[in-house]
Structure 1
Amino acid sequence: MAMPLAADLIGALPGPALLIGKSQRIEAANAAAEGLFGAGLLGRHYAVAIRQPSILEAIEAVQGGAASANARYLARRDGRDTTWKAQVKPIGDTFLVTLEDLSATEEVDQMRRDFVANVSHELKTPLTAMIGFIETLQGPARDDAAARARFLATMQREAQRMHRLVEDLLSLSRVEATERMRPRDTADVALTLASVLTMLAGKAEEAGVTVQFARPDKPVLINADPDQLRQVFSNLVENAMKYGAQRVELHLAESEHIPELRRPGVVVDVIDDGPGIDSMHLPRLTERFYRVDTHRSREVGGTGLGLAIVKHVVSRHRGRLRVASSEGEGSVFTVCLPREP
């Protein structure tokens, strides 16, 4: 068996680690290794205890004279798949196996791949349509005035859609870049809401939507980025108008204690009488490119990034976003913001 000092050193390592002796049996293992491979490792042959071929091959390579060897180990812990990097090194007549959890890195890489795939798809669809129309205009529809006007109108819509997507992508990038930086400016939430409604007044009238906001007589001041706050509430109000609401109400209230924040702040409710959202969709609403109704979202010009931007801005302000909705009963989007993030 391993000397006491070796066992103590293995036990002090933060990640899973075990020591394999000349007899090919495990001479020392820490608690993290037992949590990963199971209890009762001491004295067992390493091939029986570990079993996964990739690590066994790495151990055999070091036993054969290699200075070190690496392998990937796949496991399942706490109901989720995990990925580990195993490293095997010789120490005298023994072999040290240590493991590093790569799960978080793998998840980030997968998110990046998904994001690139989604952006590519969102851009490819309008681009393909525009290329097809251009080819038609260069050929059969060259001298057809009616077809030319129809195709050009469609191309304009598709170009505007790509423009909105690029703008939202740039906005999301800017928000993520500043998410760890607490806002230092002062914003009047009441003035921000009023300016949003002024900006969207034309769209509301065109869509036949009534928007109401009882603006307080005095400013409602918090430490915040005024431009980002304006983006949050314009996204929420515009979403309500896009997806079938006939009436949108904004409620603003100050509170000396917001339970979710455990401090004073403001609460803004954006309430609409639209078709509502099935509860199954609520946990995923703020995911990038997640849409409850993909076809309708594209019809009304949605990019699938608006609520993701809202979530990041609210997080930057150390606030909370709540969504309450059910089919046929409208929706309430609640933004809680502390006075000092």
Structure 2
Amino acid sequence: MTDSHSSEEEAAEAKAAASPLTRIGEARWILLTALCAVVYGIFTYGVSLWSSIVAMLALTSVAAFVPRRSVNRRVKLKAQREIRKMWPGTGMKVTVDALPTPCFVADGRGITRYVNAQAQSLYQGVKPGDPLSFSLRAPSLLEAFDRVCSTGQTERISWVEKVPTETSYEAHIAPIYMPGSNTAERPQSLPDFILVVIQDLTENRRLERMRSDFVANASHELRTPLASLTGFIETLQGPAKNDREAQDRFLSIMLDQAGRMRRLIDDILSLSRIELKAHVRPDSVVDFCEVVRHTSDALSPLAKDLNVTIRLNMPDQAARVMGERDELIQVTENLIENALKYGSEGEFVDVSLSAQSDAAAATGWELSIRDYGDGIPTEHLPRLTERFYRVDVESSRALKGTGLGLAIVKHILTRHRARLDVESEPGNGAVFKVFLPSIIEGEGTDEAAST
């Protein structure tokens, strides 16, 4: 409905309300009662006929020309229109609730008027009546909201939040003008409502980053084994074509290089899968003590081959944490395997699990893995969890390392809201500590710990 239609209706309504006949009709019962009283007075008390007629004419004039209910009606209608402009109607609410993404409905002043269930779950504590800036704190989003209010044009904005993990969002902001609003002058008037639709693009961004990282890192790491394989194949096709001894030696080296490529690709894919769900916290209950024991038993053959003894120090009770069992096994396996390979000179690897409290007074379980090898120089400690970073490239490749093990550990622990600390001095071995928060009362499910 346009403004002209609305104005015409209001004018017609006002004209009808101002009609004397309309007003007399509204007061008909009062006038009829007065007429009965006059007739009764004439026949019972002998009231003058002319006086009665004058009184009735005066009463009828008052009823015809003095406004009463029509004014109240206009006041009520105006109040109802103002309420409709302040709060969205049922139809708008039902539509917003049907959308699968978080949606905010705010007025032209930036006051939240309605939010759907998805927005309430993502932004806990948001409620109608609060300024929109209480929930959406991204400066670029608020600036786009102000532009939509002033120009009446739809906008699309993207931004990144760093805490607690890096997440990417996109918002679609559109003005809403209700029927009867001054649509002819949109740039000069505030919209009745502003619809803000938010979409989480984190997985899409991570997928794009995964592709670019794979091309950049994998191509660099795969170049050496591919060059070796190519060289050996050319040799087998040429000078060593009939040399049985050289063929056996070269095929063995080629098998090692192919195994190196397979391990590298497996680790890259594993890291990519973890990154894709890094912002989704696990919701299952796991016995961390059972995970450590299982991993230690699985690595006992490797420890025996390296002449290293794994010494376990486990608590008697279950160490219940929120986590994904396979990923926690991968963390424990990478750390213990690194301790076995790079600390084999010490003959022992100590693995202990104990209840601890961190600096923020949060309770949890701390896994400590200590080796007695050569240790790690201090300058390398801050970069240990970087992709493809190696303290000693030659020894790492000789031990079949890919340079991605600790990067995988870091991303898994980030997803579990856990922490990794490394302590080492050259000649005194290294200690890797993992702190996992305990289950908060009422958190998680009532399921038994995963086995």
Q: Are positions 1:204 and 2:303 aligned together? A: yes
Secondary structure class of the residue paired with 2:271: helix
**In structure 1, how many angstroms separate the alpha carbons of the residues matched to 2:404 and 2:426?**
22
Q: CA deviation at 1:118?
A: 2.5
Residue in 1 that maps onto 2:319: 220
Structure-to-structure mapping, 1:35-114, within 5 angstroms: none
Residue in 1 that maps onto 2:407: 308
Residues 111 and 168 from structure 1, CA distance in 2 versus in 1: closer, same or farther, beyond 3 angstroms? closer
Q: Decide which structure has the larger Cα Rg and report it.
A: 2
| Structure number having the greater strand percentage | 1
**In structure 2, how many angstroms separate the alpha carbons of the residues matched to 1:263 and 1:215?**
21
Q: Are positions 1:129 and 2:228 aligned together? A: yes
Residue in 2 that maps onto 1:250: 351
Residue in 2 that maps onto 1:168: 267
Residue in 1 that maps onto 2:398: 299
Q: Are positions 1:238 and 2:337 aligned together? A: yes
Q: Provide Cα deviations, 1:203-227, integer angstroms capped at 9, x if missing partner.
A: 1111111111123333211111111
**In structure 2, how many angstroms separate the alpha carbons of the residues matched to 1:247 and 1:116?**
39
Secondary structure class of the residue paired with 2:251: helix
* Match 1:138 to one of 237, 241, 264: 237
Residue in 2 that maps onto 1:67: none
**In structure 1, how many angstroms separate the alpha carbons of the residues matched to 2:379 and 2:213?**
22
Partner amino acid, structure 2, of 1:258:
D
Partner amino acid, structure 1, of 2:275:
E
Secondary structure class of the residue paired with 1:250: strand
Contact 2:390 2:403 in 1 (8 A): yes
Gaps of 5+ in 2: 1-138, 141-207, 441-451
Q: Are positions 1:229 and 2:328 aligned together? A: yes
Q: Provide Cα deviations, 1:127-172, integer angstroms capped at 9, x if missing partner.
A: 1101111111122212222211111111111111111111111110
Q: Provide Cα deviations, 1:260-289, integer angstroms capped at 9, x if missing partner.
A: 5x4221000010001101100000000001
Q: CA deviation at 1:115?
A: 5.9
Residue in 2 that maps onto 1:332: 431
Residues 328 and 111 from structure 1, CA distance in 2 versus in 1: closer, same or farther, beyond 3 angstroms? farther
**In structure 1, how many angstroms separate the alpha carbons of the residues matched to 2:341 and 2:404?**
14
Partner amino acid, structure 1, of 2:390:
R
Q: Provide Cα deviations, 1:220-249, integer angstroms capped at 9, x if missing partner.
A: 111111110000010001111221333111
Secondary structure class of the residue paired with 1:289: coil
* Match 2:417 to one of 285, 302, 318: 318
**In structure 1, how many angstroms separate the alpha carbons of the residues matched to 2:427 and 2:307?**
19
Q: Are positions 1:159 and 2:258 aligned together? A: yes
**In structure 1, how many angstroms separate the alpha carbons of the residues matched to 2:255 and 2:214?**
26
Q: CA deviation at 1:116?
A: 3.3
Partner amino acid, structure 1, of 2:288:
V
Q: Are positions 1:286 and 2:382 aligned together? A: no
Residue in 1 that maps onto 2:18: none
Residue in 1 that maps onto 2:359: 259
Residues 173 and 110 from structure 1, CA distance in 2 versus in 1: closer, same or farther, beyond 3 angstroms? closer
**In structure 2, how many angstroms separate the alpha carbons of the residues matched to 1:222 and 1:244?**
29
Residues 192 and 312 from structure 1, CA distance in 2 versus in 1: closer, same or farther, beyond 3 angstroms? same
Please give the TM-score of this superposition, normalised by the length of structure 2.
Answer: 0.50
**In structure 2, how many angstroms separate the alpha carbons of the residues matched to 1:173 and 1:164?**
14
Partner amino acid, structure 2, of 1:130:
L
Residue in 1 that maps onto 2:218: 119
Q: Provide Cα deviations, 1:103-127, integer angstroms capped at 9, x if missing partner.
A: xxxxxx9998676333211111101
Secondary structure class of the residue paired with 2:311: strand
| Structure number having the greater helix percentage | 2
Contact 2:362 2:437 in 1 (8 A): yes
Residue in 2 that maps onto 1:275: 374
Q: Are positions 1:183 and 2:282 aligned together? A: yes
Identity %: 48
**In structure 2, how many angstroms separate the alpha carbons of the residues matched to 1:216 and 1:265?**
13
Secondary structure class of the residue paired with 2:260: helix
Secondary structure class of the residue paired with 1:266: strand
Residues 327 and 129 from structure 1, CA distance in 2 versus in 1: closer, same or farther, beyond 3 angstroms? same
**In structure 2, how many angstroms separate the alpha carbons of the residues matched to 1:320 and 1:220?**
16
**In structure 2, how many angstroms separate the alpha carbons of the residues matched to 1:313 and 1:217?**
26
Contact 2:214 2:268 in 1 (8 A): no
Gaps of 5+ in 1: 1-13, 16-108
Partner amino acid, structure 2, of 1:164:
R
**In structure 2, how many angstroms separate the alpha carbons of the residues matched to 1:229 and 1:148?**
42
Q: CA deviation at 1:193?
A: 0.7
- For structure 1, which segment, 145-154 or 269-278, has the greater mean C-alpha deviation from structure 2 after superposition? 145-154
Aligned pair count? 235
**In structure 1, how many angstroms separate the alpha carbons of the residues matched to 2:268 and 2:403?**
10
Contact 2:352 2:369 in 1 (8 A): yes
Residues 292 and 133 from structure 1, CA distance in 2 versus in 1: closer, same or farther, beyond 3 angstroms? same
